[in-house]
Amino acid sequence: MTLRPGATGPPAGTALVRRPGPRLAEGIVTHLDRRPVDVARAARQHAAYVSALRAAGWRVRAIAPADDHPDAVFVEDAVVVCGDLAVMGRSGAPERRGEAAAAEQAVRELGLRIERVKEPGTLDGGDVLQAGDTVYVGRGARTNEEGVCQLAHLLGGRRVVPVGIDGCLHLKSALTALPDGTLIGVPELVDTSVLPGVRVAPEPAGAHVVVLGPDHVLLSAAAPRTAERLAADGLRVTVVDIGEFEALEGCVTCLSVLVR
C-alpha cells in the first residue's frame, strides 16, 4: 500500500535481497518470545517487499541462497555499503558468519571495493545507520568496540558515532533516519546523549524506515500511526506486511542492502 502516489523516474540504484530459506523458522530470537513462523507466508511477504522496491524504481539483484543459514534473508547484516566501498561484517553471532560469502560476491559483481572487519572485531550491518555525513554504530551483542573502530578506519573521513543500545538486537531495531536526516525511533533503547535528537515513533515498528527516495519511505504494516504521520508530513509512504520476519526480530531495513 502506498499512502501517496509518486511519479516514477530513473533507477534509484540496486537493491540486494536474498529469498528466505526453508529453515527460516529456526532463526535466532534474542529479545522476543519465539512464536511459530509460517515459511510459505514469509515467502509471499518477501515477494511483496521485493515488488515494493521495484515499484519505487530500484533494480533488484538476488544474492545466492544460503539455505543452511536460517537468518540469511536478513542481508543487511552481512555488508555495509558506503559510496563505492563495501565493508563485509563479522557477526557477533558466529553461526551467521557463513552468510557473508555470497553477499561479498554480489557486491564485488557491482564493482564495489571490498574491505573486511577482522577478528577480534565484530560488526552487523543492522548496527550501522548512515544519516547525512554521520555514521551511527550500535554497540551491543552483535557489534563490539573493535568492530566500531575498524569501521571508522575503513570509512576514512566520515564521522562515526558509537551508540550504546539496550534491550534490542541492533541499532536499527530502535532507530533509523528519515530522508532529511531526522532520526526516528524508540529513544529508551539507545544512548540518546550522543544523538542530536530523536523523533519518537508512535509505535515500535515505526522506528524502522527504509529511505527509497528523496521523499519516499518504506514502513512495516505494523506501524500504521507512524505511516499516517509521515504521510501528513508530505512523504510518500509505502507499507508492507513483514509479520513473519518481525517474529524473528527482523524489520524492513534488514531485508535489503540499497546500493545508490
Q: Which long-range contacts (CB under 8 A, 24 or more apart) does 100-106 make?
A: 102/18, 102/63, 102/64, 102/65, 102/66, 103/16, 103/18, 103/63, 103/75, 103/78, 103/79, 103/257, 104/78, 104/79, 105/63, 105/64, 106/16, 106/61, 106/63, 106/64
> Which pLDDT band holds residue 18 (cuts at 50, 70, 90)?
very high
> Which three-class secondary structure state does DSSP give residue 167?
coil
- How many Å apart are CA 212 and CA 253, to the nearest integer? 11
Q: What is the pLDDT of residues 181-206, one digit of tens each?
A: 999 999 999 999 999 999 999 999 99
Q: Quick one: pLDDT at residue 256?
A: 98
CATH number 3.75.10.10 is the correct assignment for the domain at 13-259: yes
Helices (H), the chain: 39-55, 100-109, 145-154, 171-174, 224-232, 243-246
Residue with cell 521485493: 50
Query: Using CA atoms, how far apart are residues 207 and 227, in angstroms rounded to an integer?
Result: 11
Reported as a pLDDT band with limits 50, 70 and 90, residue 157 is confident
Please tell me the predicted confidence (pLDDT) of residue 1: 57
Give the tens place of pLDDT for each residue, 120-155: 999 999 999 999 999 999 999 999 999 999 999 999
d(CA 175, CA 197): 11
Q: What is the pLDDT of residue 125?
A: 98
Residue with cell 544460503: 66
Is residue 5 over pLDDT 50?
no
Tell me the domain boundaries of the chain: 13-259
Q: What is the pLDDT of residue 2?
A: 60
58 vs 223: CA distance, rounded Å: 23
Q: What is the pLDDT of residue 67?
A: 97
Q: What is the pLDDT of residue 30?
A: 96
Rg (CA), the chain: 17
Query: Against a cut of 0.85, is the pTM above it?
Result: yes
**Beta carbons within 10 angstroms of residue 1's beta carbon:** 12
Residue holding cell 552483535?
A: 142
Catalytic residue numbers, as ranges: 170, 254
